[in-house]
Amino acid sequence: MTMILFSGIQPTGLLHIGNYFGAIKNWVDLQKKYPCLFCVVDYHSITVPYQIKQMSNRVLDLAMDLIACGIDPKKSILFIQSAVPAHTELAWILSTVTSIGDLNRMIQFKEKSKEHSENINAGLFNYPVLMAADILLYKAQVVPVGEDQVQHLELTREITRKFNKKFGKTFPEPKPYLTSGARIMSLTDDKKKMSKSHGEESYIALSDSLKTIEKKLAIAMTDPARKRRTDPGTPKKCNIYHLHQLVSNKKDLEYVIDGCAKAKIGCLDCKKLLAKNLFKELKPIQEKRKQLEKDSEKVKKILAQGAEQANKIAKKTIAEVKAKLGLA
């Protein structure tokens, strides 16, 4: 049986290189290997406070970003979650085989509850159930995500097993698909993952100019043991080196390792080279993005076609699920 790939991303504003190297770059490559569905998960993003007036633009912006990164609507289905009602329908059904104890253990729920203590809503609690519905609706088995989503996928697998046991084999068990960029750390605190919520200086946006990247990297954390330029460093312990590994070629990596370990180069030299190599990766994406902005109607059409294709598959699954539940 052909394996299906599904992944989702929230329209929360700017994309950063954590999203890109942790997930999207992988999606682009995997399009060659699997039939893919990529979803802008707007229902997930309303579980935390947001600007209502900005939402429709954020969704469209994200779709443009994804296409600019290389998601090809001719090969893959790109759509908006709320345009396919079966996502929430299946989420309700799956919530009846999900244990509250399991949901209570979710790290993201604990973190977001702390961050938004004024609004700990049931949607935030049930977030992973909707994620399970996203995936199972298309019977997807391959789910490329960053490391922070692995716990949610373990829960999806548990929900799948429980559902299949109770109602008969319906869904395959999906697996996370990770790469070396699965956990990109914040520029200002290398113990935290890169996230938009830790302030502008902590992340590099896909839309950042070379100057901005240089500025953000100039103040970014390095190997804490290297206090002076004349101190030898330990590149493998340095967040800047980890970022180099994502974008720099063998020659540049050797130059950085040797230069740092023998104190032949300073952190600023290393960061300048990183900025140059990072921007080389981002520039073509930024250029394609500018082209797409001129034709937002075309992007809206792509999303409408994607929703139509997704709805077709989703309706079939819901009919099958309802029959299994004795609800048809």
Question: Which CB atom, from 193 or from 226, has the smaller least distance to ligand TYM?
Answer: 193
- Residues within window 7-36 making contact with ligand TYM, judged by CB under 6 A: 7-10, 18-19, 22-23
How does DSSP classify residue 218?
Answer: H
Report how far residue 187's alpha carbon sits from residue 226's, in angstroms, rounded to the nearest whole number.
Answer: 16
Minimum CB distance to ligand TYM, residue 259 (Å): 26
Question: Which CB atom, from 133 or from 260, has the smaller least distance to ligand TYM?
Answer: 133
Which of 175, 196, 237, 276 is labelled catalytic?
196
175 lies in the binding site for ligand TYM (CB under 6 A):
no
143 lies in the binding site for ligand TYM (CB under 6 A):
yes
Report how far residue 60's alpha carbon sits from residue 66's, in angstroms, rounded to the nearest whole number.
Answer: 10
Which of 25, 139, 193, 216 is labelled catalytic?
193
- Residues within window 178-207 making contact with ligand TYM, judged by CB under 6 A: 182-184, 193-195
Helices (H) and strands (E) in the chain, counts: 14, 5
Question: Which CB atom, from 135 or from 314, has the smaller least distance to ligand TYM?
Answer: 135
Q: What 3-state class would DSSP assign to 124?
A: helix
Minimum CB distance to ligand TYM, residue 12 (Å): 6
Report how far residue 76's alpha carbon sits from residue 30's, in angstroms, rounded to the nearest whole number.
Answer: 10
Q: What 3-state class would DSSP assign to 221?
A: coil
- Residues within window 230-249 making contact with ligand TYM, judged by CB under 6 A: none
Backbone angles phi, psi at 175, to 5 degrees: -125, 145
The question of whether 290 is a catalytic residue gets the answer no
Question: Which CB atom, from 133 or from 321, has the smaller least distance to ligand TYM?
Answer: 133
131 lies in the binding site for ligand TYM (CB under 6 A):
yes
Minimum CB distance to ligand TYM, residue 229 (Å): 29
74-98 burial, b for 16+ CB within 10 Å, e for fewer? eebbbbbbebbebbebbbebbbebb
Q: What 3-state class would DSSP assign to 15?
A: coil
| CA-to-CA dists, residue 27 to 134, 209, 265, angstroms | 16, 24, 36
Report how far residue 176's alpha carbon sits from residue 161's, in angstroms, rounded to the nearest whole number.
Answer: 16
The DSSP element (H or E) to which 171 belongs, if any, is none
User: Which residue's Cβ has the minimum distance to ligand TYM?
Assistant: 22
Binding part of the chain for ligand TYM, among 67-75, 127-135, 208-216, 230-238 by CB under 6 A, reads 127-135
Interface mask toward ligand TYM for 47-86; x: CB under 6 A:
----------------------------------------
Question: Which CB atom, from 157 or from 259, has the smaller least distance to ligand TYM?
Answer: 157
# chain residues binding ligand TYM, by CB under 6 A: 25
CB atoms within 10 A of CB 267: 19
The question of whether 193 is a catalytic residue gets the answer yes
Minimum CB distance to ligand TYM, residue 9 (Å): 4
Report how far residue 96's alpha carbon sits from residue 80's, in angstroms, rounded to the nearest whole number.
Answer: 25
135 lies in the binding site for ligand TYM (CB under 6 A):
yes
160 lies in the binding site for ligand TYM (CB under 6 A):
no
Q: Length of the chain in residues, anyone?
A: 328
Closest by Cα among 6, 8, 9 to 31:
6
Report how far residue 247's alpha carbon sits from residue 152's, in angstroms, rounded to the nearest whole number.
Answer: 29
Instruction: Please pick, from the candidates 5, 31, 37, 44, the single residue that binds ligand TYM as defined by CB under 6 A.
Output: 44
The question of whether 196 is a catalytic residue gets the answer yes
**Binding stretches for ligand TYM (CB under 6 A):** 6-10, 18-19, 22-23, 41, 44, 131, 134-135, 143, 145-146, 148-149, 182-184, 193-195
- Please give the positions annotated as active site: 112, 193, 196
